[in-house]
Amino acid sequence: MGNADYECPHRVAIPPAKPFFKSLQSGLKETFFPDDPFRPLKNQPASTKLILGLQYFVPFLEWAPRYTFEFFKADLIAGITIASLAVPQGISYASLAKLPPIIGLYSSFVPPLVYAMMGSSRDLAVGPVAVASLLIFCMLGKEVNPNENPKLYVQLALTATFFAGLLQAAFGILRLGFIVDFLSHATIVGFMGGAATIVCLQQLKGILGLVHFTHGTDLASVMRSVFSQIHQWRWETGVLGCSFLFFLTLIRYFSKRKQSLFWINAMAPLMSVILGSILVYFTHAEKHGVLVIGHLKEGLNPLSISELAFGSPYLRTAIKTGVITGVIGLAEGVAVGRTFAMFKNYQIDGNKEMIAFGMMNIAGSCTSCYLTAGPFSRSAVNFNAGCKTAVSNIVMATAVMITLLFLTPLFHYTPLVVLSSIIISAMLGLIDYEAAIHLWGVDKLDFLVCISAYIGVVFGSVEIGLVIAVTISLLRVLLYVARPKTIVLGNIPNSMIYRSTDQYPIASNVPGVLILQIGAPIYFSNANYLRERILRWINEEEDKLKSSGESSLHYVILDMTAVGSIDTSGISMFEEIKKSVDARGLKLLLANPGSEVIKKLEKSKFIDNMGPQWIFLTVGEAVTACNFMLHTCKSNPVVIDRFSAQDANV
């Protein structure tokens, strides 16, 4: 400070400027490699680097050498359990996407094998997902009627799967995984709940045995379609559907109560399929209007590279469908993987997961599989069955393979209504009303996002819901950025601590000093707002002091602790505030500017402009300096001039 009258105990350090390319490098690293994936590669010989690099992209190579027979026993049991779920779910979800049921089975064979090699989750069970299936129908069905032109429809679905995989892999390779983070938890809860609701509504077709049904997915169209055909309702399917639904719901209810019963819950869909098929076979219900699956082709996945319709006039639609379903699948899959990784305390690499998802969908699209991800229901069963590694996926794929080779004829008499019951039962678990209630209790805005997404999906369409949810989420981010908090600080009695006077009513104002904490980094998007808000704080404080007749305002301290960074608009804001504060005869002080902020303020000459002696390490030291000047000033007005005169000498 160089001032004999007042010695500031600490100085704010200005870190030396880093060379441009070094700071660019570290900035890019923090942005795109926050998890530092290459850390183990450091200081290793080239051969080890190669092995570690291979292991990075194919995690199977990493854990396979350590794989034990104990692990295999656990994975075998888990794999068979999820296979019993995968077969009926595969058929059901494929029919939800209006694809041939066999494609649902194909999709539970190749993608799990790819994921087992490349995925980093130990608990994720791979397969088709309900919401993406419905989305495929919604988006492709608008352009091509799956009943009138089934071949083209399948081709477009495969093409969409290919582009979904391409996008997912690109996200992972370009390390753009953070894009998925912009789908907030609240958005996903609302969107999934809405999608589950309309998936259930679609099942009314199967439950009521209707032949004609609306192509719309919104509540109004479905209700109109259902109630305009009251005379076509079939009591046979209705009774069958309701009893299976009751059976499945009952089992789910008990398995939730008692953890050890989860086996029965996992096996229930397969049991329903077997029971339903036997029932139809012996009662010949298929001749009384109960629709059945019919003939399923035997044999493994045929190659489908030549089916990818890159030259089709509907390519745009296929790409759009791929992009949207790919992102949705990714968001759900990564979230599911993270949830279970947390339970077992291991890390999942989001970008690696994306590459794995992408590769499995690209491989899938070439082998007659449609879009797959990590469905929550199947993964939960896998986890509960005690899986140890992704080998459970290999076991499941093998079981599905055996089914494809030898058991498809057994599904000939499976009634569609049972599949509807299975879908409804799975979907009811996705309507997470408890999470919505929790959101209402904790954060009203998050609840609004959630409920808007839900309403958009149920009353509009899946796309409308998605657009609304993403828009609100983005607007929220922009609003967050545009409207940071400014807080008045006061002194906690008998300490050097300064805290929000709102939060700590005991914190007392310092006479003649206004202390403001700026609550966020200062960027172009909030610089104008902050300038207005800070000046309003000063106005209000001056008015308050005037009306109460207390001492007038002399100093304004800005606590910069929370200002992590700043851009040129933010610096202009400081220059403007300084001018306004000077014009009122007040003095501006800064407390605790961070490394990046002080560097930029120095580069832009703002520090020289305001005088480095007005920058303090803590609010407490700034207040001490203010008090010193205020009191010395009263007894000896020369001192403050001497202090101010430093401005010229710096």
- Nearest alpha carbon to residue 587 among 608, 617, 556, 560: 556
Q: Which two structure tokens, joined as six digits, stand for 561?
A: 């602790």
Question: Hey, what amino acid is at 255?
Answer: S
Residue 202 in contact with a second copy, rule: CB under 8 A: no
Q: Please tell me the distance from the alpha carbon of residue 233 to that of residue 328, in angstroms, as a whole number.
A: 35
Q: Which of 110, 124, 186, 291 binds a second copy (CB under 8 A)?
A: 186
Residue 175 in contact with a second copy, rule: CB under 8 A: no
Residue 568 in contact with a second copy, rule: CB under 8 A: yes
Q: Which of 74, 483, 545, 554 binds a second copy (CB under 8 A)?
A: 483
Residue 337-366 contact track with a second copy, rule CB under 8 A, x = bound: -x---x--x-x--x----------------
Residue 580 in contact with a second copy, rule: CB under 8 A: yes
Q: Please tell me the distance from the alpha carbon of residue 551 to that of residue 539, in angstroms, as a whole number.
A: 15
Between 305 and 479, name the residue whose CB sits nearer to a second copy: 479
- Nearest alpha carbon to residue 8 among 590, 638, 605: 590
- Nearest alpha carbon to residue 191 among 461, 457, 371: 457
Residue 249 in contact with a second copy, rule: CB under 8 A: no
Residue 184 in contact with a second copy, rule: CB under 8 A: yes
Residue 185 in contact with a second copy, rule: CB under 8 A: yes
Sequence-ordered list of residues with C-beta below 8 angstroms from that of 475, at least 6 positions apart, any chain: none
Contact 473, 490 (CB under 8 A): no
Query: Minimum Å distance from CB 294 to a second copy?
Result: 45
What sign has the CA pseudo-torsion 25, 26, 32, 38?
Answer: positive
Between 406 and 480, name the residue whose CB sits nearer to a second copy: 480
Residue 406 in contact with a second copy, rule: CB under 8 A: no
Query: Residues 427 to 446: which contact a second copy by CB under 8 A?
Result: 438-439, 441-446
Applying CB under 8 A, the span of 318-326, 368-376, 489-497, 627-635 interacting with a second copy comes to 489-497
Q: Please tell me the distance from the alpha carbon of residue 469 to that of residue 458, in angstroms, as a whole number.
A: 13
Q: Which of 278, 405, 477, 645 binds a second copy (CB under 8 A)?
A: 477
Query: Minimum Å distance from CB 317 to a second copy?
Result: 24
Query: Minimum Å distance from CB 594 to a second copy?
Result: 7
Q: Which of 7, 41, 64, 182 binds a second copy (CB under 8 A)?
A: 182
Residue 484 in contact with a second copy, rule: CB under 8 A: yes
Between 543 and 550, name the residue whose CB sits nearer to a second copy: 543
Q: Please tell me the distance from the alpha carbon of residue 58 to that of residue 52, in angstroms, as a whole number.
A: 10
Residue 500 in contact with a second copy, rule: CB under 8 A: yes
Query: Minimum Å distance from CB 24 to a second copy?
Result: 7
Q: What CA–CA distances, in Å, run from 29 to 37, 38, 133, 175, 354?
A: 10, 11, 37, 11, 19
Residue 178 in contact with a second copy, rule: CB under 8 A: yes
Applying CB under 8 A, the span of 45-53, 198-206, 406-414, 563-571 interacting with a second copy comes to 563-571
What's the distance, CA 447 to chain centroid? Answer: 16
Q: Please state, as a whole number, how many other Cβ atoms lie within 10 Å of the Cβ of residue 354.
A: 27
Q: Which two structure tokens, joined as six digits, stand for 263?
A: 């086996």
Q: Which of 565, 609, 624, 644 binds a second copy (CB under 8 A)?
A: 565
Applying CB under 8 A, the span of 107-115, 190-198, 451-459, 470-478 interacting with a second copy comes to 470-478
The H or E element containing residue 556 is strand 555-559
Q: Please tell me the distance from the alpha carbon of residue 462 to that of residue 459, in angstroms, as a whole number.
A: 9
The H or E element containing residue 539 is helix 524-548
Query: Minimum Å distance from CB 567 to a second copy?
Result: 5
Residue showing tokens 């000896």: 636
Query: Minimum Å distance from CB 288 to a second copy?
Result: 50
Q: Please tell me the distance from the alpha carbon of residue 373 to that of residue 81, in angstroms, as a whole number.
A: 18
The H or E element containing residue 449 is helix 444-455
Interface with a second copy (CB under 8 A), residue total 92
Residue 497 in contact with a second copy, rule: CB under 8 A: yes
Residue 226 in contact with a second copy, rule: CB under 8 A: no
Q: Which two structure tokens, joined as six digits, stand for 394?
A: 């290999």
Q: Which of 300, 576, 632, 633 binds a second copy (CB under 8 A)?
A: 576
- Nearest alpha carbon to residue 392 among 62, 56, 85: 85
Between 82 and 189, name the residue whose CB sits nearer to a second copy: 189
Query: Residues 598 to 637: which contact a second copy by CB under 8 A?
Result: 598, 600, 603-604, 617-618
Q: Which of 5, 286, 463, 567 binds a second copy (CB under 8 A)?
A: 567
Query: Residues 1 to 40: which contact a second copy by CB under 8 A?
Result: 9-10, 13, 15, 20, 24, 30-31, 34-36
Q: Please tell me the distance from the alpha carbon of residue 98 to that of residue 228, in angstroms, as a whole number.
A: 23
Q: Please tell me the distance from the alpha carbon of residue 609 to that of residue 579, in angstroms, as a whole number.
A: 11
Sheet of 555-559, strand order = 498-500, 486-491, 513-518, 555-559, 587-591, 615-616
Q: Which two structure tokens, joined as six digits, stand for 367?
A: 């082998």
Applying CB under 8 A, the span of 114-122, 157-165, 374-382, 525-533 interacting with a second copy comes to 525-533
Residue 542 in contact with a second copy, rule: CB under 8 A: no
Applying CB under 8 A, the span of 131-139, 271-279, 290-298, 479-487 interacting with a second copy comes to 479-487
- Nearest alpha carbon to residue 240 among 210, 207, 268: 207
Q: Please tell me the distance from the alpha carbon of residue 127 to that of residue 91, in angstroms, as a whole number.
A: 11
Query: Minimum Å distance from CB 468 to a second copy?
Result: 16
Between 344 and 642, name the residue whose CB sits nearer to a second copy: 344
Query: Minimum Å distance from CB 438 to a second copy?
Result: 7
Residue 224 in contact with a second copy, rule: CB under 8 A: no
Q: Please tell me the distance from the alpha carbon of residue 125 to that of residue 160, in angstroms, as a whole number.
A: 22
Q: Please tell me the distance from the alpha carbon of residue 264 to that of residue 252, in angstroms, as a whole number.
A: 9
Between 372 and 618, name the residue whose CB sits nearer to a second copy: 618
3-state secondary structure at position 124 = coil
Query: Minimum Å distance from CB 434 to a second copy?
Result: 13
Query: Residues 87 to 146: which contact a second copy by CB under 8 A?
Result: none
Question: Please, where are the H alpha helices in 284-314?
Answer: none
3-state secondary structure at position 26 = helix
Query: Minimum Å distance from CB 496 to a second copy?
Result: 8
Number of continuous H segments (helices) and E segments (strands) in the chain: 28, 6
Query: Residues 585 to 604: which contact a second copy by CB under 8 A?
Result: 592, 594-596, 598, 600, 603-604
